[in-house]
Amino acid sequence: MRAGNFSYVKADDIPDTVALFPLSAALLLPGGQMPLNIFEPRYLAMIDHALGSNRLVGMVQPSLTGEVSGLCEVGCLGRITTFAETGDGRYHITLTGVCRYRILEEINVRTPWRQAKIAPMLTDLEEPKGGEIDRAALLKAFRSFLEANGMETDWESVNRADNVTLVNALSMMSPYGPAEKQALLEATDLKARAETLVAITEIMLARHGENGSTLQ
């Protein structure tokens, strides 16, 4: 998996311990890009530290069960591939997804940001395979979503996108909640992620039809 100027190809390329950035309803997938506006002092310090070391940050959602300070077990490691200072104390960065990981244990640290020992999902480092997905069903669900919200898209670009780009981009940009985003993250493969995205969209469209609200 290439992210910016570095290629991650083996277990030794992934650190045992990573800085954690808990953020609800934020979905980063391997190969995807996530822009972030960093303004909290502890996370500004975390980014400073990451830029001076391995540039890696572990995106993860807070616990879906409401547990105080709890975290989801699975997150996605991202490399800082763009960085800019705003002039008013904030950072604008872009994380490029490297691989998903499972939290083994959170560790006690003196840093203001949280850290954990992780087990990376090394299959994510392999060259992504398009696989066999029901592209027609996915595009149908996407079109219905756009129509329900009065939105348009560049269909020429959508039709040109390969399966990996299409599924992951639609998953990351989807306006769904934390539980749905976590299900998309934890999908076992691209086919499962595409099927999960279609199922979630169809459920949301059905609810939209019942109450007349938008899906955003």
Question: From first to last of its 216 residues, what are the pLDDT tens digits of the chain?
Answer: 999 999 999 999 999 999 999 999 999 999 999 999 999 999 999 999 999 999 999 999 999 987 878 999 999 999 999 999 999 999 999 999 999 999 999 999 999 999 999 999 999 999 877 778 999 999 999 999 888 888 888 889 889 999 999 999 999 999 899 999 999 999 999 999 999 999 999 998 888 665 554 445
Residues 48 and 114 in one domain: yes
Domain count, the chain: 2
Of 125, 153, 183, the position where a domain reaches its end is: 125
Look at residue 103 and give its three-state secondary structure. strand
Which residue segment(s) compose the domain that 12 sits in?
Answer: 2-125
Residues 85 and 179 in one domain: no
Which DSSP string do the residues of 12-81 spell out, in sequence order? GGS-SEEEEEE-TT----TT-EEEEEE-SHHHHHHHHHHHTTT-EEEEEPBPTT--TT-B-SEEEEEEEE
Residues 10 and 33 in one domain: yes
Would the pTM count as exceeding 0.85? yes
Any domain includes 154: yes
